């Protein structure tokens, strides 16, 4: 709840600045994510890919730099197996003793510096470097019972992309890597933004 309050205040700040600053924008990205869980699949079913989305707002500082805040929903990765299936995590081999599914989901709130370079009036390439506050949840569903574990933290993220502007609308595509305390989420994004 505290993080949601911070994001709402930050977005409100950006929107109220539109009266004084030109070029404030809001947007949404579709995310194609790969969660690097560190699990090596031996005989179980490992799925580290899922879809997600990002909501963001940005404000130009000057013609070569924006500040952007964002929310990311990374989706879910899962590992499932039946009695006797094995997998390796951190060089240790584990074995399922019953039919079970282990699923991990994550989301985050971030703020980033977004340096940019205009190729022409409509096309811009950009980079991103920032911090994100993330939450993850690990759920275990088994024939013998269920359980979950949560974790959170603050780590860096970085990325790059290209953006094409059409008057007040722009389309962008990019690639970002989010660190979650040693786990990486690689994210390919495509989306639209509206500039006020």
124-157 residue pLDDT tens: 999 999 999 999 999 999 988 899 999 999 999 9
Number of domains in the chain: 1
pLDDT at 172 over 90: yes
Domain coverage including residue 64: 2-195
69-114 residue pLDDT tens: 999 999 999 999 999 999 998 889 999 999 999 999 999 999 999 9
Q: Provide the CA 47 distance to its chain's centre, in angstroms.
A: 17
Q: Provide the CA 59 distance to its chain's centre, in angstroms.
A: 20
pLDDT at 185 over 50: yes
Q: What is the pLDDT of residue 126?
A: 98
Backbone angles phi, psi at 187, to 5 degrees: -135, 120
Residues 6 or more apart whose CB falls under 8 angstroms from that of 93 comprise: 42, 86, 87
> Following DSSP, what letter does each residue of the chain receive, concatenated?
-HHHHHHHHHHHHHHHHTTT-S--EEEEEEEEEEEE--EEESSSEEE-EEEEEEEEEEEEEETTEEEEEEEEEEEEEEEEE-TT-EEEETTEEEE-SSSEEEEEEEEEEEEEEEEEEESSSSEEEEEEEEEEEEEEEEEEEETTEEEEEEEEEEEEEEEEEEEEEETTEEEEEEEEEEEETTEEEEEEEEEEEEE-
Q: What is the CATH number of the domain that holds 102?
A: 2.40.160.20
- The pTM assigned to this predicted structure is 0.84
Q: What is the pLDDT of residue 18?
A: 47
């Amino acid at each position: 709840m505290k993080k949601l309050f911070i994001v709402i205040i930050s977005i409100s700040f950006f929107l109220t600045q539109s009266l004084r600053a030109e070029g404030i924008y809001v947007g949404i990205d579709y995310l194609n994510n790969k969660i690097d869980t560190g699990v090596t699949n031996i005989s179980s079913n490992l799925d580290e890919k899922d879809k997600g989305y990002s909501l963001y707002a940005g404000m130009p500082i000057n013609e070569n730099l924006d500040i952007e805040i964002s929310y990311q929903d990374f989706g879910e990765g899962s590992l499932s197996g039946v009695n006797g299936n094995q997998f390796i995590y951190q060089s240790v081999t584990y074995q399922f003793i019953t039919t079970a599914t282990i699923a991990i989901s994550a989301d985050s709130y971030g703020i980033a510096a977004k340096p940019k370079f205009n190729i022409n009036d409509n096309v811009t390439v950009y980079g991103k470097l920032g911090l994100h506050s993330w939450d993850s949840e690990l759920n275990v569903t088994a024939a013998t019972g269920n359980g979950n574990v949560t974790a959170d933290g603050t780590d860096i993220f970085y990325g790059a992309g290209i953006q094409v502007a059409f008057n007040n609308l722009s389309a962008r595509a990019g690639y970002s890597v989010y660190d979650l305390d040693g786990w990486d989420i690689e994210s390919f994004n495509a989306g639209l933004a509206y500039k006020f």
